[in-house]
Structure 1
Amino acid sequence: MTKTDTPSPSELKTIGFTPFIYCKNQALFHVSRGVPLADALAQASDLLHFAKKLTLDAAYAKDSDRHACAAHYLTAMSKAVIDDVAKVLDRRPVQTTKETAPSKNS
């Protein structure tokens, strides 16, 4: 029987590795570390909702540069949060020493 140290989904938190909004090829902001994934995804959903509203306004309004710019920043933040969550979910579970050692039958 194999045993892995996998936390429950409710215990998973952002790792804070994902940058967004660059200034002269240097990340100006990063996703914060330690935010529960459900909360992070809820925030990303809210950011995308507002970005969608702004793009709709931009489609119908004259002089809508400010709408497009704001939507750009909201989508950049949303993408960074989702990418950070994906990095957490893609991590491999930690294996015990017995599992990593070659078996005698191989």
Structure 2
Amino acid sequence: MSDIELLKAYHRAYRKALSIHHKWEDGDEVELLQQSSELIDAVKPLTDAVGSDWHRSKNLERHLKCVRSFLRNGERGSASTDIDDLIYADLPALFDELLKLAEK
């Protein structure tokens, strides 16, 4: 995937995460679960590009899986910090790494 394609893919993934975040409190759990699975699929090629030795890769993976798992179990409230961490920490840090790749 070219640098610009990686950045475009990131943008789509981040917008998906924002959509989940905006609907978190009142959105349909089935729809949120579907979107969380789509988000995991969207983020996978991005984390593959930055590599598993990236210092935040485990956090990002854990937060993605927690969101999906808690939604599956009908425990949306238990994952509210995970979706926040994705939006405010993990995904912005991933973007920083993608920019570093693009600059090389």
Give TM-score, length-normalised by structure 2: 0.37
Structure showing the higher helix proportion among its residues: 2
Give TM-score, length-normalised by structure 1: 0.36
Mark the structure with the bigger radius of gyration: 1
Structure showing the higher strand proportion among its residues: 1
